[in-house]
A = this chain, B = another copy of it.
Amino acid sequence: MAFSSDNAFGPEEGPKEECGILGIYGRGEDVARLTYFGLFALQHRGQESAGIAVSNGERIRVHKDMGLVTQVFDEESLQSLTGHIAIGHTRYSTTGSSVVRNAQPLSCSSVVGDIAVAHNGNLVNTAHLSCELKKDGVIFQTTNDSEVIAQLIARSARENVEQGIIEAMQKLRGAYSLTIITQDRLIGVRDPYGVRPLCLGYMNGDPISPDRKTAYVLASETCALNVIGAHFIREVEPGEMVVIDDEGEREYQAVPAQRHATCLFEFIYFARPDSHIFDKNLHAARRRMGHELAREHPCKDAHVVVAIPDSATPAALGFAEASRIPFSEGVIKNRYIGRTFIQPDPRMRDLGVRMKFTPLREVLAGKKVVMVDDSIVRGTTTGKLVRMLFDAGALEVHVRISAPPVQYPCFYGIDMASQKELVAATKSIEEIREMIGATSLGYLSLEGVVRAVGLHKNKFCRACFDGHYPIRIPHDVKVTKWMLEEQEKPGDWEGGPDDGAPDSD
């Protein structure tokens, strides 16, 4: 249901990604312009604010503001960002609390000169770290994790920013993919679990030596490489720091890698379908989730499979393929949904959903329908969609979700909902089915998702499904006691709790 900001009309059902980041090092390239187009391809990861910081070797300039990439930048602002090293950031839109002060990249001057930091993820020990830092006299001007990170780097940096980053990483707990620039280098960093994606690519601007790397690029997703014509090299590894300067590219295992715990929802929903993670194309993986879903929860009598566009379309296509039930568009999405603060008339029942989605009566009427979506968070939107399909004449609506029930909140950078709002945290599947009014309801199993992706389960963080948080949540995070107990308890899947130590399997 995602791949869009769509936060019109009250609380949005889908989980929300925090940010997209980018970094480019290339002498002779218009790095600000390349960053602009790269950020454009990462716009789905955040629509609240956008920013670019550029170093010309001597100082860093930044331009950032609230809005979409195309709204924040114009030729004048891009042309003012001269240099050969750039990072960029797009930030996800939360309601209300968002202010320009919190836009990224965060830029500052420090003992090692100017630094700018762009962050994707969420630290779980922010409160602890900022408390410790404040005790040492540090002040905070924003509420961004990236300021905490910059502070830690600056305190450890002394003469050497790389050492500062390594020391900072030893203190950071949580999910973080970072692109950082100093006056003379670009640095990419990924947390020891690799929760949020980050990949490395290069550009070749030399027609004579087509393998020469004339520029390096770091990006949240491979789709950003594609749009600017960069070539994929590899993903940044968990705990790794990649440094690029005039000497070329250097790699460090900055902190010991833990077991890979890449967010499984990146596969199910967040990342763009044309991106690759772990060398797996997201569209293909989602299509296979549809295959698995058809196997686990078949629906033999159904006449048609429809998706809730756009993110569930691949899974629906896969479901249709595997079940040999025809796929059709069944619900049309309004492409112009943006922020609107206009209140509907009280009599406009379900206007929010109707503004965004409309059913195709010709496809649905008199049919037994399989409706594929990729998640149920609070359940209210799903309920409205089911009713919309029945209102359009569907005889039966069989809801199939290409992911397991979301039962636990995410602390690593996804704004899902508080635990008590998660319908699957408190209701059985049958209760959910009843609540949403579906004829039947089937969730893809965690094993099914993992099979579809084609990698070992322990490559992923699937805490929102099974409550086993790979990175321990500190006590100052507000969770129910029950949740913390869960965290202590040995999981069914793994041999023991994930607690910062490498996973045994």
| A interface, CB within 8 angstroms of B | 3-4, 8, 29-30, 33-34, 36-37, 40-41, 43-44, 47, 68-71, 73-75, 78, 100, 106-111, 115, 130, 134-141, 150-151, 154-157, 205, 223, 226-229, 272-274, 281, 283-284, 287, 310, 313-314, 317, 321, 326-329, 332, 334-336, 338-345, 347-349, 351, 354-355, 358-363
Contact = CB atoms under 8 A, between A and B. Distances in A.
A482 to B, nearest CB: 30
A332 B283 contact: yes
Contacts of A287: 328
Given A70-B339, A75-B342, A358-B223, A137 B108 contact: no
A326 B141 CA distance: 55
A69 B337 CA distance: 10
Contact of A40 (B130, B321, B327, B334): B334
Nearest to A110: B139
B141 A154 contact: no
A321 B305 CA distance: 14
Contact of A44 (B155, B281, B335, B360): B335
B140 A283 contact: no
Contacts of A110: 134, 137-140
A234 to B, nearest CB: 17
A359 B274 contact: yes
Nearest to A283: B360
Contacts of A283: 329, 332, 360, 362-363
B75 A36 contact: no
B347 A329 contact: no
Contact of A334 (B41, B106, B150): B41
Q: Which among A107, A226, A328 has the greatest number of chain B C-beta atoms within 10 A?
A: A328
Name A's interface SS.
mixed
B274 A336 contact: no
Q: How many copies does the complex hold?
A: 4
B348 A272 contact: no
Contacts of A136: 155
A332 B138 CA distance: 45
A75 B341 contact: yes
A40 B336 contact: yes
Nearest to A107: B141
21 contacts: A40-B334, A41-B355, A43-B336, A44-B335, A47-B336, A68-B336, A70-B336, A70-B342, A71-B338, A78-B342, A106-B141, A111-B137, A137-B154, A228-B351, A273-B332, A283-B362, A283-B363, A284-B362, A287-B328, A310-B335, A314-B329
Contacts of A335: 3-4, 44, 310, 335
A334 B354 CA distance: 22
